[in-house]
Each structure stands twice: as C-alpha cells, then as structure tokens.
Structure 1
Amino acid sequence: MTVLIVGAGPAGLTLAAELGLAGVPCRVLERRSERYPHSRAFALTPRCLEIMEMRGEVEEFLTRGLESPVVSLGSKGRGIDMRRYIDSRHAYNLILPQVQTEEVLEAWALKRGAVIERGTEVTGLEQDADGVTVTVRGPEGEHTERASYVVGCDGIRSTVRSLLGISFPGMPSEFSAILADVQLKHVPEDEQVFARHTDRGMVAVMPFPDGHFRLMIQDHRRMQVPVGEPVTLEEIRSSAADILEVDLGIHSPRWLSRFRSEQRLAERYQVGRVLLAGDAAHAHTPAGGQGLNLGIQDTVNLGWKLAATVQGWAPADLLDSYEAELRPLAARILRQTESVFRFNTARGPLLRGARWTVKQLLHVPALQRSVITEMAGTKTRYGKGAHRMTGRRVPDTTLTLASGAEESLFPLLNSGKAVFLDSSPAGELARAAERLWPEHLTAAHVRRASGRLPEALLVRPDGHVGWASDHPDQPAFRAEVGRWLGDPVA
C-alpha cells in the first residue's frame, strides 16, 4: 500500500516530495486536469526559503523569483527592512507567482519518485485498523483502492474533510476585495513593494519578475459588491486612482478576480489514518501572505513523521504531534491575519486614529522585530522544553568539525534525516548517536560554530530543535532522542 495525497497544490506537492525523499511511495490525486493558471498567492517567506535550502532545492525558486526585503507600513517611505531582524541568508520575501511555485514543487516531487494523477478525484473513503479504502473517479471511470494513509491537501472546499465529517468553523469576511495582475505605464519608483492606506481604502502593489504587477484593492465604496460581479479594467483604474491619488496607467490585465476572504480552522487535523494539511485545515485572509507558506510548513512537519509511521520506526505518539504542533500555530496566525485585515479596512475617525497610532508604534525596534519574525515564520516554536532552544527553528550555522573540516548545518539536512550535533570536547554522544540510530540521523562532532550551540543539539528533519542540553547525560540523551527517533538499535 502507498500514501494517497489528495490535491496537487503547494501543500500536497511538498508532502509528496518529503515522502519521496524518505523512500515512502505516494501518489497525488488532483481533480483538475491541468494546473490552475492564475496565482492567488505570490510570495515565499524567509522560513519557507530556509526549508527549501534544507532540502537543497532553493536555487530554482531564487532563479525565478524577486527578492523583496522591505515590508511596507502603508505610507510612503516607511517600511521595515527584514534584514535588520532576521538571522538568515533569506531575510526577504521572494515574490513568485503561485503557479511557478507549484511548477518547481512538482518537479521536486517527481524527482523524488511521486506519481501525480490529474483529472482524478476522491469521492468516498472508509478506513479500518490496517488502511483506508478510497473511492476514486478518473478518466477511465470509478474504482476503489487501498492506501496505508490518506492526506487531504485539497483546499478550502476539501472533499476529504467533508467525508471525514470534520467541522470547519469560522466565517467569510463581510467585505469583498480585488486581485488583479496587470501592467503599469507609471511604475512607482520609491519602493519595490508598497501599500497605501487612505480614507477611501487600500491599494497594495507588488512587482512580478515577468514585468506584470499584482494589485490588491480594498475600496470602501466597492467592498459590498457581490463576489460574482465581474471585475472590469475601468473599475480597478478608478478605485486605484481614487485611493492613491495618482494614475498608475493600469493596462493589459491578464487576471481580474473579486474575492471574499474566509477565516476558518478545522476542528481536527486527523481522524485515524486520514489527515488534513494546507487550506483543507485552515483558511486565511491574504494579509501577511501566510496561507501558502503555512501549508508548506504543515507538510514539512508532517512528512517525516508520516514516513516514520509508515516505515514502522516511529514512537507511538509521533504522528499525534503533527496536530498538536501545527493547529495552535494556525490558530495564532488566523488571529493575526484577521487583525491585519481589520487594520487595513478600518473606517471612521476612531478606527483611523487607532491605525495611525499602530503605525507609529511599529517604528519601535522591539515591536518591529516581533512583527517581522512572526510574518517571516522564523519565530515559530513547536512547544517548549527545559532548554531555551527546544522547539525553535534553527538558522543555518557554519560548523567546524573535529576533523577540521567546515560544514554548514542546512546541507546536513538535505537527506531529510535528523541531525545530532555534539559540541563536547570528547564527542562521545555523537559516536553514540551514530551507533544507536544509524538509519535516522546524521551525527557531527563540532569544535566551533558561527552561532552559539548547546553541548548537545538534536535538529529534527523539519529544522526545529527536538532536544537541547548544555549539560547532557546518557539517560537524558537516550530518552530525548528516542522520543523523536524511536527505539535505539542497541
């Protein structure tokens, strides 16, 4: 039996690549016969770029995308430079249309051995203790097949979630807004990416690498327009000019869309052998660009845990930690994106005054750091432990090994295995780790590092700290590493 992934969006393709890297056969079933040609999402955050670097896949994204290190605060000349606060080689958002992100992810998944079947949808599922029976309808008709696990990555209208009977509480926004991919005759020169708030509404402008621009328009006079009413070129020209008080020379639209955001969170992420990830598990407003990026984080967290479970070496509660870690993160991001959306659409003198006050406060460095690291995904922490680093993401670090060789941390994660770093003088735990978990980790005896490291550090395959200790002992070492990697071989 194999793992069936339902949905070939960013979350499903990333999961397929992760399972393939771990040697777990998987198939991706996609209802659409061809990839959706338009892009709702348009950027990858620093943390997602780090994830791609950890797997040795980041260069293709960088070749296609446009680096954008400054986050606009909605006023001319005011923004936050991410490079001031993020300890990463990728201290920027990478502007890249979702359709191109999916092209790169699909190539990665296929390279790892995944099978992608388009024009194929799941219409039913039943599960027992040994697997899942799935009813599939494709070009040749309907049939049933068995899978060891099924993961629904099939979006906000998820069939898998509906078949499981999992509720998806939340609500749609009361306002509609517009997305438009266009060309501009008069390109703003003062900022690469900018947003402007006025009494009339908000316009955000983002350049795409191919010369087009993404506009997001929230016009207070047009936000009650039904989603089904077509967007016209004249409408976006008029709204943008009235809000910005300048003429951008909008022309040659290739995509115009009116949308109403939804804020929802699945009641559960797992029922037996069926799990949810990406938009099937959570839906966000576009504010902050978190939806696609959180879906990738979901599946990098899930991939190695599901692979370990399928292969039979996972600790008993390892797969349960997926929902325990990711659902609270999604809930927090939902609260934040809702606050940003309300901030952007605030009306009335009191609300506008509050928005002005918040803008002034955002020039305080401590608040800037908190906001930027949250948006970038580098602040994410999965649980807490006795050590300050437990659960945190680990930035790339240059290591000088006991042999004298220099190595960076991220390439050690290319294999999708955990990494154990031993900074003690003797390196006894590194040797023990290699002996006790030879198939599931890479161990290194470290003499020096470019960043401060504890004496013992277990970096999980998803780049977060599983265990850290400044004064490790053998019993704690065996117990804490075994918590993530299962029983030692001896």
Structure 2
Amino acid sequence: MDAALDAPLDTALDAALDAEVIVVGAGPTGLMLAGELRLAGVEVIVLDRLTEPTTESRGLGFTPRTMEVFAQRGLVDRFDALGAPLETTTRGHFGGLPLDFGVFPEAHPAVVDLPQVHTETMLRGWVADLGCDPRRGHTVVGLTDTGDAVEVQIDGPDGPLTLRARYLVGCDGGRSTVRELAGFDFPGTPATLELFLADVRGCDIRPRFIGEWLPGGVAMSARIGDGIDRVVVCERDIPPQRRTAPPTFDEVAAGWQRLTGEDISQGEALWVSAFGDATRLATEYRRSRVLLAGDAAHVHLPAGGLGMNTGIQDAFNLGWKLAAVVRGQAPDTLLDTYHDERHAVGSRLLDNTRAQGLLFLGGSAMQPLRDVMGELTEHDVVHRHLAGMVSGLEIRYPMGDGDHPLLGLRMPDLELAMEEGTTTAFPLLRGGRGLVLDLAHDESVRRSARPWADRVDVVTAKPAADAGFPQADAVLVRPDGHVAWAAPGARDDLTDALARWFGPPAVPAN
C-alpha cells in the first residue's frame, strides 16, 4: 500500500462526517476518481445504484492518452494479471477517416477490443487495494449543500439513510441524478437518430472496423472475443424512440438485415443497447461542494469511444486537486481550475463528435466532404491535428505565462539517466505526487522545491541523448502528468508555480 495512505490527515476527520468525499457512480470515471483520492489518503465512499457490476461493455478500448494515464499510475500490468492482455494499435479514425497515432512516436499506442468490464474489474481491484469498496444497491434520492458539507439522502439495501461529506462528485452517467438534484444546467440538443449496439455470439460477421456506408445508413462490426462480434446499426430517417427498456435483439437483427442483407437472427445476443446523438454539456462542472465528471458532465455521440476516455481523464484531473483541498494543502480555489480546464475539453469534445457524426452518419450527401477531408488528412499538419484531437495527446491547459513548448501539455514518458540507473518519467508519477525534474543539476532548483517535499518529489536526471525532448533545465509536472512550469522560458519563479498548484509550503524556505 502506498505510503501516502499511512500519513496522518492534516485535520482529524469531523465526527459528523461519514467521509471526506462521496463519489456517486462505480463506472470507470467514479472508480478512477476514488483511486486518485485514496492514493492521497482521502476518506472516500463510492455509491452505485446497481446491486452488481454491469456486464455491458460500451467502451471497447483506450486512446493513447488514457493509456498514459494508466501507465502513470502503474496500472497497465494489472490487465495481464486479470487474463485480459492488451491489444495495441496505432490505428484510429476521425468520422471513419483513417488516422495513424504513430505521428506521436513518443506516445503509448491505443488499445482496441478490450471490453469495458475488464477496465472496471481492473479499477475495482486497484481501488480495493487502496482501501475502498463500492457500496452497491444505494440510490441517491436527495442532497443538500449546507455550506460546509454535503448531505446525501439514499435509498439503500437496509432502508433510507443520510451520509455526510465535505464534497460530492457525480460520476453517475448521462442521466445523472446528482446533476439534476444539484440544479446544474445541461443545455444542448436532443437526439435526432437512434443507433443499436449489440454483442453477438455465433454469427461470424464480416468485420467493418470503421463502419460501412450503405444506402440506408451505416453498419459497423468488429470481432471482440472468441466467436463474439460487436455490431452497431444506424438506419437513417428513423426517429429515435423514447425507451424505458433496451431494444430487443429482434429489432437489432432486423435493422442489420435491412442495411446489409445479412441475417444474424440466429445469433445469441450477450447484451443489447440503444443510444443516440444527443449532445449536451453542463454549464459548470462545479457548484460549491458538488462536482460532475464523465458523462454526468457531457453527453455526445460515442464516436471513437471518446466518452469513457474523457471521463477517466476528467477524474485524473480532478482527483489530485480535490485531495489537496480536503487535506488542507491547497485553497478551495484550486477546484476552479478543474472546471476551467476540463469544461474547455468537454466543449471541444462536443464539437469533435458532432463533426465526426456528420462525416460518419451523414449519408451520400456527405461524400464530397468525406472526399475533401480525406485529401486534407494526407497533409502532415492536418493528420497530426486530428490525431492529437481524438487521442487526447495535444490537450494543453492554461498554465500562466511562459513560452516553453511543453508548457500545459502532458509530459512524455521521457527516458531519464540518474545516478542510480535509467528510468522513464511515468514511474516517477505513480504515487500521485507532483514532480520537479532537475535536468541541469541545479542546486537552486532543488532548494526552491524543498519546502513542498511533503507533496512534490525532486529528481535530478539527464534526458537520454536521443529522447527528442525540448531543451529544458527544469520542469514541474503536476500529478496528472501535465507540465505546469518549465525553464528556460518561464516568466515566473518555480516557487510561484509550486504555490499556485500545490498550495503554501509546509516548511519555510531555507
């Protein structure tokens, strides 16, 4: 167990609190957030309305940036331990137009054909090792922000109860109860079409990895396991239904046959679902002591599986900030940067998926646009721009003044030579702490960072000669892997950057 879990809290847990943070939703977003909070020693309760983990697997892999998130916490090997080895690829697409993530040679590849159930199982194991197990069968029915805490009313297996915490985070999906009860605005556009999704055993369906445009719509299929195919059916000009239950497999098979002429009705559906192209974004990700993450904050057409990936990255951005605030290490205003950074990402995500929907689902009328876009992607600058957008690798957060090329971007897994041997950057972030890389063996850098030693590590190292790393004497990396300060090029002192992102120093500077 990480040493941070054995560290005493700055203040004793208020006897009237059941936890410091309550997370609603035990999907990938909620579990990732719980893990980040526990890594910092925060008392957290995770609630989920389902009595058992879901067997549905909407998400089917990770973007390169999500793989980096898992690598930065040492979680990648846990998939092998589960018997769920990762199939990696540099392939991607934008609205069906092929992309190559290999334009970022320093990045982790994407992962394909990994059912979401494996991701949730891995994250549950990690969170359990950190001392937290979700409480299942607990439905949130009310909440009250009292100013100094949040009271959550719940229908649980043993009847009604009320839990109290300093903060509440809704990670409870596109129909979020937390979002509704807390009064968040969720503007956008309703669905204009309906798509069917099913995992089917025993049909040996021809693969259509990025979809096949057909006169009546789009058909997509991919082999995701031994004898199991995932199919997506989108018939144009059929309005979405207001459903209270999933569609039947008969509906899916009939739609597939109308589109492709193939009969899959003899197959066995493992699960069936429907979704649409509704596009909505919460106007704020934080209202006082209540926050939103994942689909609770943004819903959109699930083009390229970006929803689950964005939710995990929301949690990765929020977790260390919320932990620092509840532990008294940073001011409450640090949480405002969560909205500032991730709301912009969410807005960009909605634009991105709308554009992909037009290209992917727009029918023959969109073919001229697809042709032109296909020509544009042959230009390196366009290809890199689109690949960076859908992979998450080129998200740049506002970090203040400075002109270093890495400022605001994620830190690559740079090979580093230290006195004790060679390592890379990501293992240095596994504890969820900040990191100062002293790349010029500068005692003044180490001295400046020393007052934050309780929450920031300092490593003296040299980049490998062939690392392709932009010239830097020192770099400050946040716990979420983004570069918050770099020299030369910084217009403020390292101590200013440390105070901005990690709060006041624990001890006076020497």
Is TM-score (shorter-chain normalized) higher than 0.5?
Answer: yes
CA deviations on 1:225-255 (whole Å, 9 max, x unpaired) are 6656975556545544554577789722212
CA deviations on 1:106-164 (whole Å, 9 max, x unpaired) are 11111111231001122222223321222222111112232111111111121111111
Aligned counterparts of 2:306 and 2:486: Cα–Cα separation in 1: 29
Q: How far is 1:341 from its partner? A: 1.0
Query: Any conservation in 1 of the 2:204–2:227 contact (CA below 8 Å)?
Result: no
Q: Which residue of 407, 427, 431 maps to 1:415?
A: 431
Q: Which residue of 491, 496, 499 maps to 1:479?
A: 496
Q: Which residue of 375, 378, 393 maps to 1:360?
A: 375
Q: How far is 1:480 from its partner? A: 1.3
What TM-score comes out, normalization by structure 2 length? 0.87
1:69 aligns with 2:87: no
CA deviations on 1:282-334 (whole Å, 9 max, x unpaired) are 11111121111111111110000000000001145211100110001101101
Which residue number in structure 2 is paired with residue 27 of structure 1? 45
Q: Which residue of 417, 421, 443 maps to 1:405?
A: 421
CA deviations on 1:32-87 (whole Å, 9 max, x unpaired) are 11112212222211111110110011122365243343235788xx83332x2123
Which residue number in structure 2 is paired with residue 79 of structure 1? 98
Query: Any conservation in 2 of the 1:233–1:251 contact (CA below 8 Å)?
Result: no
Which residue number in structure 2 is paired with residue 438 of structure 1? 453
Which residue number in structure 1 is paired with residue 211 of structure 2? 195
**Overall identity of the aligned pairs, in %:** 36
Taking the TM superposition and a 5 Å limit, the aligned residue runs for 1:108-123 are 108-123=126-141
Aligned counterparts of 2:373 and 2:261: Cα–Cα separation in 1: 23
Q: How far is 1:221 from its partner? A: 5.8
Taking the TM superposition and a 5 Å limit, the aligned residue runs for 1:245-256 are 251-256=267-272
Q: Which residue of 329, 347, 372 maps to 1:331?
A: 347
Which residue number in structure 2 is paired with residue 319 of structure 1? 335
Aligned counterparts of 1:122 and 1:229: Cα–Cα separation in 2: 21
Q: Which residue of 428, 445, 449 maps to 2:444?
A: 428
1:382 aligns with 2:403: no
Aligned counterparts of 2:375 and 2:251: Cα–Cα separation in 1: 32
User: Which segment is superposed worse, 238-247 or 324-333?
Assistant: 238-247
**1:302 corresponds to which letter in structure 2?**
L
Aligned counterparts of 2:249 and 2:334: Cα–Cα separation in 1: 51
Query: Any conservation in 2 of the 1:227–1:259 contact (CA below 8 Å)?
Result: no
Which residue number in structure 2 is paired with residue 168 of structure 1? 186
**Structure 2 unmatched runs, 5+:** 1-16
Query: Any conservation in 1 of the 2:29–2:308 contact (CA below 8 Å)?
Result: yes
Query: Any conservation in 2 of the 1:44–1:95 contact (CA below 8 Å)?
Result: no
Taking the TM superposition and a 5 Å limit, the aligned residue runs for 1:459-478 are 459-470=477-488, 476-478=493-495
Aligned counterparts of 2:452 and 2:95: Cα–Cα separation in 1: 51
1:98 aligns with 2:119: no
Aligned counterparts of 1:389 and 1:228: Cα–Cα separation in 2: 48
Q: Which residue of 345, 350, 355 maps to 2:361?
A: 345
Q: Match of 2:459, SS?
A: strand
1:36 aligns with 2:51: no
Q: How far is 1:364 from its partner? A: 2.8
Aligned counterparts of 1:348 and 1:15: Cα–Cα separation in 2: 42
Query: Any conservation in 2 of the 1:26–1:115 contact (CA below 8 Å)?
Result: no
Q: Match of 1:290, SS?
A: helix
CA deviations on 1:352-373 (whole Å, 9 max, x unpaired) are 3223322333333322221112
Distance 1:233 1:221, change over 3 A: farther
Query: Any conservation in 2 of the 1:66–1:208 contact (CA below 8 Å)?
Result: no
Q: How far is 1:347 from its partner? A: 3.4
Which residue number in structure 1 is paired with residue 8 of structure 2? none
Distance 1:152 1:203, change over 3 A: same
Query: Any conservation in 2 of the 1:263–1:283 contact (CA below 8 Å)?
Result: yes
User: Which segment is superposed worse, 233-242 or 29-38?
Assistant: 233-242
Q: Which residue of 134, 155, 161 maps to 1:137?
A: 155
Query: Any conservation in 2 of the 1:431–1:443 contact (CA below 8 Å)?
Result: no
Q: Match of 2:59, SS?
A: coil
Q: How far is 1:224 from its partner? A: 5.4
Query: Any conservation in 2 of the 1:74–1:197 contact (CA below 8 Å)?
Result: no
Aligned counterparts of 2:378 and 2:428: Cα–Cα separation in 1: 38
**1:447 corresponds to which letter in structure 2?**
K
Which residue number in structure 2 is paired with residue 269 of structure 1? 285
Query: Any conservation in 2 of the 1:315–1:483 contact (CA below 8 Å)?
Result: no
Aligned counterparts of 2:263 and 2:378: Cα–Cα separation in 1: 29
Q: How far is 1:469 from its partner? A: 1.6
Which residue number in structure 2 is paired with residue 392 of structure 1? 409
Q: Match of 2:186, SS?
A: coil
Aligned counterparts of 1:294 and 1:119: Cα–Cα separation in 2: 26
User: Which segment is superposed worse, 331-340 or 201-210?
Assistant: 201-210
Which residue number in structure 1 is paired with residue 462 of structure 2? 447
**1:420 corresponds to which letter in structure 2?**
V
Q: Match of 1:12, SS?
A: helix
Aligned counterparts of 1:74 and 1:259: Cα–Cα separation in 2: 17
Q: Match of 2:141, SS?
A: strand
Query: Any conservation in 2 of the 1:9–1:102 contact (CA below 8 Å)?
Result: yes
User: Which segment is superposed worse, 276-285 or 256-265?
Assistant: 256-265
1:181 aligns with 2:199: yes
Q: Which residue of 298, 301, 309 maps to 2:317?
A: 301
**Structure 1 unmatched runs, 5+:** none
User: Which segment is superposed worse, 392-401 or 94-103?
Assistant: 94-103
Distance 1:374 1:425, change over 3 A: same
Query: Any conservation in 2 of the 1:284–1:290 contact (CA below 8 Å)?
Result: no
**1:176 corresponds to which letter in structure 2?**
E
Which residue number in structure 1 is paired with residue 220 of structure 2? 204
Query: Any conservation in 2 of the 1:208–1:214 contact (CA below 8 Å)?
Result: yes
Query: Any conservation in 2 of the 1:72–1:195 contact (CA below 8 Å)?
Result: no
CA deviations on 1:377-396 (whole Å, 9 max, x unpaired) are 11111125413322111110
User: Which segment is superposed worse, 320-329 or 206-215?
Assistant: 206-215
Q: Match of 2:493, SS?
A: helix
User: Which segment is superposed worse, 277-286 or 242-251?
Assistant: 242-251
Distance 1:159 1:225, change over 3 A: closer
Q: Which residue of 58, 68, 80 maps to 2:76?
A: 58
RMSD after superposition: 2.5
Distance 1:224 1:30, change over 3 A: closer
Q: Match of 2:196, SS?
A: strand
Q: Match of 2:334, SS?
A: coil
Q: How far is 1:437 from its partner? A: 0.8
Aligned counterparts of 1:163 and 1:8: Cα–Cα separation in 2: 19
Which residue number in structure 1 is paired with residue 13 of structure 2? none
